[in-house]
Amino acid sequence: MKNLHHYGIFSLTTFAIVCLLAVSSLAQEVLYVGTYSVRGSEGIYAYTFDREQQTFELLQTSTTLESPSFLAFSPDGQHLYSTNRGGVGSQPDAGSVSAFAIAPASGKLTALNEVSSYGISPCHVEVDDEGNWLYVSHYGGGSLSVFPIGAEGEIGELADSVQHTGGSVNEERQSAPHVHSIQPIPQSDYFIVADLGLDQLKIYQMDEGDISAAPIPYIATEPGAGPRHFVQAEGTPYIYVAEEMTSTVSVHTLDMQQEETRQIQRLSTLPDDFSGSNSVADIHISSDGKFLYVSNRGHNSLAIFEVNAEDGTLTPRGHQSSMGEIPRNFMIDPKGEFVLVANQDTDNVVFFQRDTATGQLTPTGMELSVPSPVCLMMTDTGQGSTEVRK
């Protein structure tokens, strides 16, 4: 791995348990949908997407182990990885991770291999920016695993793992650790782990498969917040954290060179007049860094925030109904034209037009019916190169 060139400056992606991804090739765009194994789901779905007509056509379904949840692409867009609740081999009580090759012309998936994730309830998977390592988060067991990625995209044997311990103030939800997502810091040896049970974003250093604590051991959230996913605009030192249990988003700075971190803002993701139950799920920032979106499960909406380019702080700019129930995950497409929302309980993926000047979302009337969709990610594949957007 490379040395950290710009301390505290990195681009992160977020996080859930069923993922939706779109690949754009020279011939066509393809949308991949991971699902929970409920209500007749057949595994991972692939649809061709006509952007001009805003229509879909089923391309393929790929059967996997139980509940192929979070999905991730390799940096070159040639491979897809999924976390699964179902076990494999000598670890039937643990979850698993699967690898697929993506056909360059058609976007169809071919299974490569699957291995035990060496943990309970894997809920998130990510690949480092050089395509060498696969990171897996385990919500149920509160641990993380790291695997090498082979030359053909296959998953190798477990390289290292870390078991978190402890808890926080909420006895019902935080009596134990709950690792929810991992994001490597690009162009560095560091990665960050959101642990909902500990109210911390732990920071680790990676050395050829060996994990150790970073000089800054963690970023602390407020007690009882429950950090789930986090994101950062490229070229800024600001980290935005989706806090599941308190329906808030917090803003932190991280300076690895000075070994300093601090919280500078914390805002509700809900309207002032909302009184029902809610939990925050996913978080994404537009590629230009101007707008931040957070999904609310209960209020069933996306909260919209404008980002201050000078100091990283947020200003609320309203809410958009998700047009379904339990929007566990969503994504901004690579061109920034649409926001796609996966509503877990109503089995629909809803497309919204995005105003790049105001950040506001408008329903397009376009929906895709998929059993229990949850997480959304996208890659843009062109002739001779691939750019991954999540």
Tens digit of each residue's pLDDT (9 = 90 or more) over 200-245? 999 999 998 899 999 999 999 999 999 999 998 788 899 999 999 9
**CA torsion 296→302→304→310, rounded to 10°?**
60
pLDDT of 17 > 70? The answer is no
Give the Cα separation of 104 and 43 in Å (integer).
21
- pLDDT computed for residue 5 by the predictor: 37
- pLDDT computed for residue 4 by the predictor: 41
Q: What single letter denotes the amino acid at residue 102?
A: I
The model's confidence at residue 90, banded by pLDDT at 50, 70 and 90, is confident
- pLDDT computed for residue 333 by the predictor: 87
pLDDT of 380 > 60? The answer is no
Q: Residue range 292-301: average pLDDT?
A: 98
Q: Residue range 250-279: average pLDDT?
A: 95
The model's confidence at residue 52, banded by pLDDT at 50, 70 and 90, is confident
Q: Mean pLDDT lowest for which of 1-5, 44-48, 85-89, 129-133? A: 1-5
Q: Mean pLDDT lowest for which of 21-35, 172-186, 313-327? A: 21-35
pLDDT tens digits along 344-374: 999 999 999 999 999 999 999 999 999 999 8
Of these ranges, 21-25, 83-87, 249-253, 364-368, the one predicted with the greatest mean pLDDT is: 249-253
- What residues contact 225, with CB distance under 8 A and at least 6 apart? 199, 241, 243, 244, 245, 246, 248, 250
Query: Across the chain, what does the average pLDDT equal?
Result: 88
- What residues contact 353, with CB distance under 8 A and at least 6 apart? 337, 338, 361, 362, 363, 364
- pLDDT computed for residue 389 by the predictor: 42
Q: Residue range 319-341: average pLDDT?
A: 93
- Burial bucket for residue 362 (CB in 10 Å: 0-12, 13-18, 19+): exposed
- pLDDT computed for residue 13 by the predictor: 41
pTM greater than 0.95 (yes/no): no
- pLDDT computed for residue 378 by the predictor: 66
Q: Reduce the DSSP state of residue 302 to 3 states and report it.
A: strand
